[in-house]
Amino acid sequence: MSTFTILLGGDLIRTPRLERQIEGSRVIAADAGIGHARMLGLMPELWVGDFDSVPANLPDDLAAVPRKVFPAEKDITDGELAIAEALKRGATSLVLAGAFGGKRADHAFLHLALAVRLAEAGTTVLLTSGAQEGVPVLPGSAAFDYADGTLFSVLGFSELAGLTVTGAKWPLDRVEVAFGSSLTISNEVKGQLGIALERGRALLLAHPYPLPES
């Protein structure tokens, strides 16, 4: 498996869990995402985008990262360009670091939807801010390693059929969930979290490192 970390421009904090997730990965930065590289101790092999939001006072070594420049007026985001470059270079697993928050809610939403689309095409995807992380949920079953008490939600991107949640404060057994329902918001891990789905597409959003203000 070839793992690439894609540095995006959203919120990001460094945690031991994030360090483990990106260890040994190759790195591509998307425009302002280069600003996270120093904090994480990473050196990207490529920096892509239209470079309209380059961080000020960038260290010389990061400023010298090879660039692939695109016009500002384009029909694809810098983040999706970076992901496309990673896939061209053989990525089978992606860590989208800085996928949440930031100044653009539309970009953050796109990252969620794009992660589901990539997972449907066979790519393993993790979205993370360090404090919270997202994993696509497709038909099938999966187990997760979150500690007891971890807050999580299952965000439906369609109607969900046969959703089962085990190892949770509020388990579910093959339930139907209407698109837009809040039924699966704000659950809590209690044991070994497992999720199974018969039909539909969703995203597991977990908070392994809640921020102090939360």
Instruction: Give per-residue pLDDT as tens, 11-20.
Output: 999 999 999 9
The pLDDT of residue 79 = 92
Q: For the purposes of burial, counting CB atoms within 10 Å of the CB of 159, is it exposed (0-12), middle (13-18) or buried (19 or more)?
A: middle
Contact 79, 108 (CB under 8 A): no
Q: Can you tell me the mean pLDDT for 69-81?
A: 85
Closest CA to 8 of 75, 72, 103, 74: 103
In the chain, pLDDT over 90 holds for what percent of residues?
79
Contact 36, 59 (CB under 8 A): no
Check residue 214 and give its pLDDT.
45
Mean pLDDT of 162-188: 97
Q: Average pLDDT for residues 53-69, to the nearest whole number?
A: 86
C-alpha distances in Å from residue 155, one per residue of 47, 109, 118: 31, 12, 17
101-153 pLDDT, tens digit each: 767 788 788 889 999 999 999 999 999 999 999 999 999 999 999 999 999 99
pTM of the model: 0.93
Structure tokens that stand for 36 in this block: 């996270």
Q: How far apart are CA 7 and CA 98, in angstroms?
A: 6
